[in-house]
């Protein structure tokens, strides 16, 4: 049963993949993140998981896998990490009902889950709200119309208007130095000034992916 009213949190919880990321991802909210290349996807997902593991449980829902070797370089312990795969909207909703409250949940390749509907998106939002989840729905877009990003979010996430955060991430490199370019289309109210384009140096964030051992 949904709740119409509840006490407002004066200091709402949020997480960031790294300090320089321009916005926080809110607890009780749903974020839609599109990756224009695999490096931006792996950096964002591995770092947001590593930054959260010491404070709460983290659930990684595929299809798609994590590199435990990389996570071991980013965090002291991955004991609070749980992973699994879902392939249908029904499986995803069942999985969300099982996760602990106040957790971070990262769902990869969300638009590829079968039987998705606007109702599924609304139910994920309801579940995130009721359980205090930081829910991140992601997609690596091999083709992305940069001239119509609102239309792309509509195509990929069905109801982008219900999301708390919408962003597109890309990486580029020049002479061995890396940057992450972030386009923010929608944010929680306290970050509304961050709507637009950001370019962030990420050399230190890339290192765990470049060197083995």
Encoded tokens for 71: 């996570």
Rounded CA gap, 166 and 29, in Å? 11
Report if residue 147 sits inside a domain.
Answer: yes
Report if residue 102 sits inside a domain.
Answer: yes
Report if residue 62 sits inside a domain.
Answer: yes
Report if residue 200 sits inside a domain.
Answer: yes
Domain that holds residue 170: 24-210
Report if residue 85 sits inside a domain.
Answer: yes
Rounded CA gap, 140 and 111, in Å? 10
Alpha helices by DSSP H, 86-212:
89-98, 118-131, 149-157, 203-210
Report if residue 35 sits inside a domain.
Answer: yes
| Closest among 119, 126, 80 to 100, alpha carbons compared | 80
Report if residue 10 sits inside a domain.
Answer: no
Report if residue 124 sits inside a domain.
Answer: yes
Number of folded domains that form the chain = 1
Task: Specify the CATH number for the domain of residue 95.
Answer: 3.40.50.300
Say what the pTM is: 0.93
Taking only the tens of pLDDT, the chain with its 213 residues reads: 555 666 666 556 899 999 999 999 999 999 999 999 999 999 999 999 999 998 899 999 988 889 989 999 999 888 899 999 999 999 999 999 999 999 999 999 999 999 999 999 999 999 999 999 999 999 999 889 999 999 999 999 999 999 999 999 999 999 989 999 999 999 999 999 999 999 999 999 999 998 765
């Amino acid at each position: 049963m949904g709740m119409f009213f509840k006490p407002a949190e004066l200091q709402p919880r949020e997480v960031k993949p790294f300090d320089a990321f321009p916005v926080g991802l809110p607890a009780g909210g749903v974020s839609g993140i599109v990756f224009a290349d695999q490096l931006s996807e792996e950096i964002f997902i591995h770092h947001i998981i590593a930054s959260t593991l010491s404070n709460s449980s983290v659930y990684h829902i595929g299809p798609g896998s994590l590199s435990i070797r990389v996570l071991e370089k980013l965090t002291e312990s991955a004991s609070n990490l749980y992973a699994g795969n879902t392939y249908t909207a029904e499986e995803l909703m069942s999985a969300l009902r099982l996760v602990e409250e106040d957790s971070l949940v990262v769902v990869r390749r969300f638009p590829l889950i079968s039987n998705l509907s606007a109702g599924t998106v609304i139910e994920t939002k309801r579940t995130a709200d009721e359980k205090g989840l930081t829910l991140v729905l992601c997609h690596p877009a091999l083709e992305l119309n940069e001239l119509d990003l609102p239309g792309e979010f509509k195509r990929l996430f069905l109801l982008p208007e219900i999301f708390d955060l919408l962003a597109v991430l890309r990486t580029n490199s020049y002479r061995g130095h890396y940057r992450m370019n972030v386009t923010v289309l929608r944010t929680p109210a306290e970050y509304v000034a961050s709507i637009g384009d950001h370019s962030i140096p990420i050399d230190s964030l890339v290192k765990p992916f470049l060197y083995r051992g």
